[in-house]
Every structure is written in structure tokens, then in C-alpha cells.
Structure 1
Amino acid sequence: MAKQFVRFQYKNKIDWGLVTEEKILPLEIGDKTTKDLLVDLQKRRVKPNLKSTKTIDKSLITILSPVTSPCQIICQGANYKKHTLESGLNPKSKTYNLFFTKSDVSITSAIGDVIRPSHVELLDYEIELGIVFGKPIDSPLDLNSYNPSDYVAAIFIANDISARDIQLPQLQWYKGKSYRTFFPAGPILVVLEPGDYELINSLELNLTVNGKLRQSAKANQMVFPPKETIAELSLFSSIQIGDVLLTGTPSGCALQAPGKIKQIFVSILAEHKKWDLFIKGQKKRTEYLQPGDEIKATIRTADKRLDLGEQVLQIKQG
């Protein structure tokens, strides 16, 4: 059965711990990287003593991101059909797997603040299933023969926070998605055991803003599932232990592309005029995040056999 780990701070010391109900069992390994933790677990250098009485109540610790830098953050775009539509893309035309990257400077805790930069007005949320690689990839994988569970070591909740007024008008996906605090990760790193990978399709993703449900979907609705994505990724990228893959977000984001007729109309305009109209239209949408908003996100199976915890984020003005 999968095990839940957290990276935390307690009395000015950083450590990793095993989650046991409402308690944390410290591993007493210090502030190791995600990569080092996974390697230690694989080589059985870390063996949590479940009989130990040295547990800490969850309420006494500060949760940190279970994803550490340096690492490569690879993302999939428009990987759920309905989100493809709301992004203004035609699912029948988008027959390719869309990849982009995100800076590891954006990594932050799942319990805390997301800072909206002073020049950003269209701040959006994107709940995503995050995958942590536990085995290097340095050559192409054969889709028909390789076993993805050999490479997927752990999973976690990711939020691909996006500044739409930077990402789209400037065609700056990397910049628009990489400001500091734009990658809340965790709170829990769920390390998979044999047989757990097959449960990924049953994961349910839910995100609320100020208590109202915005996004809800199951992982089996991905257009390009992890096995297919990892095989394609291996054709053009080398992967190290601790690198992560964000598998795309469902529909329900604040972003809403203009209708087809309006898109045809604005296509004849100069580029800057087109994007001025886009931003003006998006500013009318009340779904974009504002200072004081609270985001909550969960990813888990219905029976909670896999439970990635809950993100609780507050939007603050930079």
C-alpha cells in the first residue's frame, strides 16, 4: 500500500516524515532532496519504525513542499478535452501532446500563500496530478513494452498557477507560469508500492475557490495518459530521479476563450489590438483570483486508498 510522506519544519529543523493518521513519524534524515529520499527508500536506507513513540502532532509542524529544487518540471497543456475547448483549441485539430516547462523557482508549499505579482491581473489556477520520476530515462522507451510503474515513484497535488495576461499575449508560457509561488506542491508525497500505479485512473481531482467548486474530474479523462506521455517524453528529453511531470488540468479554469465568431472577427486585427481585446474581455470574468481568495484542492480515490492530502492556499498581492 502506498505510503504518505511530508517534508516539514519543526523547531527550526527540516526533516521528512511518514504520515500516520494525525501524527508525523520523523525519519530523522534532515533536509534531503526529493531525489535523495526516493533513492534512500529504494535502497532501504530509510526504514520508518512504525512502533516508535517519537511522533509529532500535525498541528505542530510547518508543511514544506515535498518537491525540491533543483529539478526539471515538465508540463502537459490542454490534456483534458473540456479544458482544450475552454482554452480556445479544437480537440479534433489538437492531435498532439503539448509540452512546456516551468521554473523550479516557482516551487512553494501547499499550505501557505500564492503571491500575485503587482503587474499581473489575470491570475488563474490549475489543479493537476503531479508525477515524480524514480528512475532515470536516458534513451527512448518502447510504448508497447515498457512498464510505467518502473519509472513513476510518487504522485502529489500540483497547482499550475498561471498569469494569463503574460502567458498568452506575450506568448510567454515559461514566464507566465514560473513566478515565485506559482507551483504549490503537496502537501503529501505519496510513494507508490507495487499495484498502486493502476489506481491512478481512479483519482478524483477537485478544486474550490472560496468554497465554490471550480474544477472536478477523474484522472482517466486525460487525453494522453502517463504511460503514453512518458514514452513520448523519452524521445526528446532525459529524465533524472526527482524530476516531475504535471499531467494537465481539467476544465473550470478562470480562462475562457472567446467564441468562434469573435475569434474570426479579431483575427483580422493587428496583433496588439487582438490581445488588448482579449485582456479587456477576460477582465470581465469574476473567476480570476483576487487577493484574499482561498483555494482548496484535493486528489484522492473514492475509497481513499490513494489520498494526496489537501492544499489550502491564500492569494496575496505582491
Structure 2
Amino acid sequence: MAKNFVRFQYKNQVDWGLIVNEEVLPLHIGDITTKNLLVGLQKKRIKTPTNIQSQKRISKNKITILSPITAPCQIICQGANYTKHSLEAGLNPKSKTYNLFFTKSDVSITTAIGDVIRPKYVELLDYEIELGIVFGKEINSTLHLDSYKPEEYIAALFIANDISARDIQLPQLQWYKGKSYRTFFPAGPILSVLEPNDFEKIPLLELNLTVNGQLRQSAKATQMVYPPKETIAELSEFAKIQVGDILLTGTPSGCALKAPGKLKQIFASFLPEHKKWKVFIEGQKKRNEYLQPGDEIKANIRTSDGKLDLGEQILQVKQGS
């Protein structure tokens, strides 16, 4: 069964701990990187106590949860990896016959229990719940889809929120910039380190996100167009992966972003580029789904039986100065 870890602060000290019910069992390893935690566990330099009941634990309400994903790391993302999200983003799933990759800066990493800061020049702030994968083994050569085993490379799972400034990302064609401002990558709260029998549960994971208590996104991991095994094999053709690097597997439908209708798109195609995007932004500003200061975002990913549970994110949107 997967072991759930958190990175936390307690009495001005940062440590990693194993979650035991509603308590945390400190590992007393200090503020090491995600990579070093995974390597230490693999090589058994970091050991989780066998007699958990006899160990001193800390209540979760006495600690400050930090991101279980640490910089530096490479953050590789999949775009439009759920069919319905492709449609709402204005893409034709029948024409999109490729796996869309982009990257995100590790400057954007932040805690899962905390604040998302909307930059003062951003008006179209959007949310994207995603299943995050942490690599536990280097990839230096091409993996063959039919023969490689993904469990050799996937070390852990976590909840990710790919916060996006749509009025930067789309009009400026700046995916990296529009998705990389500070606090635009809430990660965690849990780093769920998998055991061999856990991999068959990944397709059973259910993703849910609410804004102010209203369900906005809900899907199952089986709905991915390109599942992790296929994606990692393709990624190996053009990327070098280090232990601790991240793959975000795409978001389901329900984002604030919604592409204009076909007639509006045809009309906009006759406009100069700057006017086209001005019309787009004005149209999107009429949508109430975009995040506003004071909004609360909650997200969870788990199987229906609770045997694989990545915890819950609780985020408050605040206005940047």
C-alpha cells in the first residue's frame, strides 16, 4: 500500500513525515529535496519505522504543510489531455492527433494549503486540477512502449493545480509565462510513494475541484487521451528525465476558459491580431467562472474506496500588489 509523506514546518524546523491517520510521524531528515527523499527511500538510507505505534507523532493541526515538490526540478505538462477539455479550449479532438507538451517554471511551486496570488495585471485567472507524477528513475534513452514498465519510473503521485493566466497565455502565446508566476503551481499536500500493487489503481483515481463549494471539475484518470505509460514512452524520445522531475497529466473539462462559438471565431479571423485578442478577452471577462480575490479552491484526487488518497488542497485567491 502506498506510503503518504508530507513536507512540513514545526517549531521553525522543516522536516518530512509519514502520515499515520490524522498525525504525522517525523522522519528527522531535515529539509531535503524531493529527489533526495526518493533516492533515500529507494536505497533504504531513509527508513520508515516498523513499530509506528511506539513512535512520537505530531497532530496535523499543529504543523504547517509545505509543498512536497521542491526546486530545482523539471516540470513537464500535457495539454488538452481530456477530450471535453479540448472542446472547451476550442480544439477539435479528431484533429488533435498528437500529445501536446509544454513546460512550467519551478518558481511557481507553492503549498497546497495557502494562497494563490493573482498578479495585478491579470484578469483571467483559471484553475486546472491535474494528477501529478514524480519520476523515480532517470530516463536517458528511448523507452519502447511495448516492453518498458512504467512502475520502474513512476515513484510517486500528488495533486497539482496548473493555475493559468489566460490573458497572458493565449493572446501573447506565452504558455510558459502565463502558467509560471509565483504561486501558480500548488502541489500536494501529500506525496504518495507507490508500492508495486498500487499502479493498477492509477486509472481508478477520481479528480474533483470546487470553487466556493461549487463543483467545477470532475473526472476519472481513465478519461485521459494519452495515459501515463504512453506519454512517458513518447517523452523519452526527446527529453532527459532526472529523479524528482515532474509530469502533469492534463486537466479535465470545467475550467473557466471557454472558446468562443464557431461564428465568433470566423468573425474574429478577419480582424487584425490585436483586435482579435481584445474581442476574446472582453468576451472571457463576461464569464463568472474566472477566479477572483476571496475565492476558495478545494481539490482532491482519490479512488472511490479510499485506498489511494492524495489528500485535499485548500487555496485562497488573493490579489497581488
Q: How does the TM-score come out when normalised to structure 1? A: 0.99
Q: Displacement of 1:52 after TM fit?
A: 3.4
Show the counterpart of 1:296: 298
Show the counterpart of 1:240: 242
Show the counterpart of 1:159: 161
SS of aligned partner of 2:171: coil
The CA deviation string for residues 185-233 of structure 1, in whole angstroms up to 9 with x for no partner, is 0000000001111110000000000000000000000000000000000
- Of 216, 230, 234, the residue aligned with 1:228 is 230
Q: Is 1:104 the equivalent of 2:80?
A: no
The CA deviation string for residues 15-36 of structure 1, in whole angstroms up to 9 with x for no partner, is 0000000110000000010000
CA distance in 2, matches of 1:104, 1:52: 38
The CA deviation string for residues 270-318 of structure 1, in whole angstroms up to 9 with x for no partner, is 1001000000000000000000000000000000110000000000000
CA distance in 2, matches of 1:178, 1:38: 25
Show the counterpart of 2:4: 4
CA distance in 2, matches of 1:262, 1:144: 44
CA distance in 2, matches of 1:214, 1:26: 35
CA distance in 1, matches of 2:312, 2:149: 29
Q: Displacement of 1:71 after TM fit?
A: 0.1
Show the counterpart of 1:73: 75
Q: Displacement of 1:53 after TM fit?
A: 2.8
SS of aligned partner of 1:312: strand
Q: How does 1:158-197 map to 2 (within 5 A)?
A: 158-197=160-199
The gaps in structure 2 that reach 5 residues or longer are none
Q: Is 1:266 the equivalent of 2:247?
A: no
SS of aligned partner of 2:196: coil
* Percent identity for Structure 1 against Structure 2: 78
Q: How does 1:249-288 map to 2 (within 5 A)?
A: 249-288=251-290
CA RMSD of aligned residues (A): 0.5
The CA deviation string for residues 133-160 of structure 1, in whole angstroms up to 9 with x for no partner, is 0000000000000000100000000000
The CA deviation string for residues 228-281 of structure 1, in whole angstroms up to 9 with x for no partner, is 000000000000000000000000000000011211111111100100000000
CA distance in 2, matches of 1:184, 1:44: 29
CA distance in 2, matches of 1:305, 1:44: 24
SS of aligned partner of 1:196: helix
CA distance in 2, matches of 1:185, 1:297: 11
CA distance in 1, matches of 2:246, 2:234: 15
Show the counterpart of 1:13: 13
